[in-house]
Structure 1
Amino acid sequence: MSLLIRPAMPEDCETIAYIEKLCFSSTEAAPLESIRERQKLFTHTFLVACLDTTIVGFINGCVTQQPHITDDLFHSTALHDDQAPTQMVFSLAVHPEYQHQGIAVRLMHAFIEIARMNKKKRLTLTCKKERIPFYEQFGYINEGLAQSTHGGSTWYNMTIDFPENQ
């Protein structure tokens, strides 16, 4: 089986929502309606990973003027602006049956490349403490505790700056 990474399509949204619910707590997971809205709007920044025709993972996020993720971004796409300097990662998830096979790594590398190609100044996300080393392998810098308390959790700001796009 070969892994294909491609833009998410409207017909992918139910599978994406299912994977999201498997990988995040009920208070953190985006509902299907939000995933559909993001897929329509984040045309360049919503990717799925497919093994043959099976969606096994995805990554998505808005583009905004803000330097870090705040909780309001999870609930409204109003601040999305394709021309803004900051690419965000809202979700990176791989179906549990396919984890630890390098799929999340491939999705992240593809997302980093898209941010560079789109001349973004930075790529940012929030993660839980135990996930910090995973993101550091891509060059993310831990910038400390995030303002976000999404889902009632404690998050850390992780950022990659692209000096070539400054």
Structure 2
Amino acid sequence: MEIENICFPSNEACTPESMAERASQAQETFLVAVDKKTDKIAGFLNGIATDEDVFRDEFFTNITLHNKNGKNIMLLGLDVLPEYRGQGLAREIMERYLAREKGQGRKRVVLTCLDEKVKMYERMGYKDLGISASVWGGEKWHDMEYVFGLQE
């Protein structure tokens, strides 16, 4: 939660309760990067698996929507601590995550991001689907998707 609160403003950050539920009931959708020199967590990525195709805000708060064998992953957060930014860590975490989820037989990975992050995710192979129905944190989001087999 400390990292989540550093990386996201309070209106966008996950609640401690939701993060705890996600970590205990959907741990297979997390990927954590650890600094080998300090053993400090440098960043992490997390989401939930589902057979649903459209991102919705309830994914952030309702862990019962997680289906371990779901065909899609809805990414809920990519957190990289400020001191590790600008070094390619976000890209590395994402590349490893996508490879792992492809190996699990997933079909798509979907995320939402603010305007200023669209280009970053496009460089990672995501396609901008336009403005999302998500209103999480009172913000205007873009839906982004990575379809295995198309973007590779």
TM-score of the two chains, using structure 1 as the length reference: 0.85
Cα separation, 2, equivalents of 1:37 and 1:66? 20
Cα separation, 1, equivalents of 2:21 and 2:96? 22
45, 48, 57: which one aligns with 2:32:
48
The question of 1:92 aligning with 2:81 is answered no
Aligned equivalent of 1:163: 149
Aligned equivalent of 1:5: none
24, 29, 38: which one aligns with 2:22:
38
The equivalences for 1:52-91 within 5 A come to 52=36, 53-91=39-77
- In structure 2, runs of 5+ residues without a counterpart are none
Aligned equivalent of 1:149: 135
Aligned equivalent of 1:120: 106
Cα separation, 2, equivalents of 1:113 and 1:35? 24
State the Cα distance separating 1:114 from its structure 2 match.
1.6
Letter in 2 for 1:150: W
Cα separation, 2, equivalents of 1:88 and 1:82? 12
Aligned equivalent of 1:101: 87
State the Cα distance separating 1:45 from its structure 2 match.
1.1
Aligned equivalent of 1:19: 3
State the Cα distance separating 1:68 from its structure 2 match.
2.6
Q: How well do the aligned residues superpose, as a CA RMSD in angstroms?
A: 1.2
Cα separation, 2, equivalents of 1:151 and 1:161? 26
State the Cα distance separating 1:163 from its structure 2 match.
3.5
Letter in 1 for 2:27: T
Which ranges of 4 or more aligned residues in structure 1 deviate by more than 2 Å? none
Cα separation, 2, equivalents of 1:35 and 1:110? 21
Cα separation, 2, equivalents of 1:23 and 1:159? 22
Cα separation, 2, equivalents of 1:141 and 1:27? 26
> What is the number of residues matched between the two proteins?
148
TM-score of the two chains, using structure 2 as the length reference: 0.93
State the Cα distance separating 1:96 from its structure 2 match.
1.0
Letter in 2 for 1:86: N
Cα separation, 2, equivalents of 1:104 and 1:144? 22
State the Cα distance separating 1:18 from its structure 2 match.
0.8
